[in-house]
Amino acid sequence: PPPRFSAGGQFSANCILVSRRQEGNPVLRCIRVVRWEFADIVPDYMVGATACVLYLSLRYHLLHPEYIYQRIRELQPALYRLK
């Protein structure tokens, strides 16, 4: 499996890192097959060394369409490939 970053910046295998801003997100109850842990990271979920996920509900996006662009700008472009 691809390596994962731990909260301390080291690699850890088979684990999704979850930003603390996602605490209370009901989506976390659906992640059962893969282990996950909270970490102090900029993206909402870190799923690989160069892959991350930004969570955005459709309702929030309709109310604040500029929010996703702000979050993308916060990411360090050297670390992640934008798709």
The string of pLDDT tens digits covering residues 3-18 is 445 555 544 668 999 9
Strand partners, 18: 38, 45
Strand partners, 3: 13
Q: How many Cβ atoms are within 10 Å of 68's Cβ, its own excluded?
A: 13
The string of pLDDT tens digits covering residues 69-83 is 999 999 877 788 777
Let me know the angle formed at the C-alpha of 53 by 50 and 55, rounded to the nearest 5 degrees. Answer: 165
